[in-house]
Structure 1
Amino acid sequence: MLQPDSNWRWYYDHQHDRLALLLGDMLFLTPYRTKHLAYALDEQESFDLQDLEVYSQVANQLEHCPLRLSAAQQTQLAINVCATQRFHKPLMPKSWFFDRHQQGGHHHRLAWLTCGEQRAKVWVVEDNQSSCLCLLLDDQLPLTNGKALGQFEAIRVMLDCLEPCFEQQPLRKLA
């Protein structure tokens, strides 16, 4: 997983029409377009201490999470969580797309969302007593009326729409 540094900069990449993070000599494009952002980025903004805190929290959560991701995938998830928390417009719950469950919730930030016959894994970015902001981890989740959620797209749902996801964790040898 990449370690953030003081050279990281947020900006809006008009060529790709996406919020981007300049990582020194590398470029990371988020999936978030202008319509998803709470405000327009007219200039570059530093990856600040709040971003660093969120990034570190996600890294720590991934260490305790049964989800197995490569270092690059972990970095991708952490950056998208930072972008969502800092720049994404507030969302109202859109629970009508999803099945409801008696025991809703998540396990180590992982949960399933089910829409009819389709089921997808999500990362819970934030939760409160009634709703959760989630990022889709799977490539796509078809919804009704020909709509679909794309990977890392944000959606807010009521807590009872989530099913805890218990991934298989490989057995570790104890010395």
Structure 2
Amino acid sequence: MLQPDSNWRWYYDHQHDRLALLLGDMLFLTPYRTKHLVYTVSGEESFDLQDLEVYSQIANQLEHCCLPLSAAQQTQLAINVCAVQRFHKPLMPKSWFFTRSETGGHHHRLAWLSTGEYRAKVWVVEDNHSSCLCLLLDDQLPLGTGKAMGQFEAIRVMPDCLEPCFEQQPLRKLA
């Protein structure tokens, strides 16, 4: 996983129509367009201490869950969570797309969302007991009526729409 430094800068990439993070020599494009953002970043904004705190929390959470992600994918998830928490417009719950679960909730920030026909893994960004903000981890999730969520798209749902996702624990040698 990449370690943030003082050269990281947020900006809006008009060529790709996406919020972007300049990582020194590399460019990271988020999936978030102007319509998803509270405001359009004009110029560059530092990856600040609050971003660093969120990024570090995600890195720590990823260490404790068994989600099989490469270092690059972990970085991608952490940056998208930072972008959503800092720039994304507030969302109202859209629970009607999903089936309800008696075991609602998440496990180490991982959960399943199910439409009845389709099931997808999500990362729970925020859980305030009345609703949960989630990012889709799978490539896409068809919602019916011709709509589909794309990877890392944000959605807010009621906690009983989530089903805890228990990834397989890797076997550890004891000796």
TM range (shorter): over 0.9
Give, as a single letter, the amino acid of the residue that structure 2 aligns with 1:92: M
Give, as a single letter, the amino acid of the residue that structure 1 aligns with 2:40: A
Distance 1:35 1:24 in 2: 27
Give, as a single letter, the amino acid of the residue that structure 2 aligns with 1:85: Q
Off by >3 Å, runs of 4+ in structure 1: none
Give, as a single letter, the amino acid of the residue that structure 2 aligns with 1:2: L
Residues 48-59 of structure 1 aligned to structure 2 (within 5 Å)? 48-59=48-59
Give, as a single letter, the amino acid of the residue that structure 1 aligns with 2:142: P
Distance 1:98 1:90 in 2: 20
Partner of 1:143: helix, strand, or coil? Answer: strand
**Paired position in structure 2 for 1:122:** 122
Residues 59-70 of structure 1 aligned to structure 2 (within 5 Å)? 59-70=59-70
**Paired position in structure 2 for 1:31:** 31
Give, as a single letter, the amino acid of the residue that structure 2 aligns with 1:171: L
**Paired position in structure 1 for 2:136:** 136
What's the CA shift string for 1:93-116, capped at 9, x where partnerless? Answer: 000000001120000000000012
TM-score under structure 2 length normalisation = 0.99
**Paired position in structure 1 for 2:172:** 172
Any gaps of 5 or more consecutive residues in structure 1?
A: none
Distance 2:102 2:26 in 1: 45
Distance 1:28 1:99 in 2: 34
* Alignment: residue pair count: 175
Distance 1:55 1:106 in 2: 20
**Paired position in structure 1 for 2:42:** 42
Partner of 2:129: helix, strand, or coil? Answer: coil
**Paired position in structure 1 for 2:7:** 7
RMSD: 0.6
**Paired position in structure 1 for 2:151:** 151
Distance 1:168 1:32 in 2: 31
Confirm or deny that 1:92 pairs with 2:92: yes
Give the deviation of 1:119 after TM superposition. 0.1
Distance 2:66 2:158 in 1: 23
Partner of 2:121: helix, strand, or coil? Answer: strand
What's the CA shift string for 1:82-139, capped at 9, x where partnerless? Answer: 0000000000000000000112000000000001210000000000111000000000
What's the CA shift string for 1:122-165, capped at 9, x where partnerless? Answer: 00000011100000000000001010000000000000000000
Distance 1:91 1:62 in 2: 25
Give the deviation of 1:174 after TM superposition. 2.4
Give, as a single letter, the amino acid of the residue that structure 1 aligns with 2:31: P
**Paired position in structure 1 for 2:78:** 78
Distance 2:7 2:173 in 1: 39
What's the CA shift string for 1:58-93, capped at 9, x where partnerless? Answer: 000000001111000000000000000000000000
Partner of 1:134: helix, strand, or coil? Answer: strand
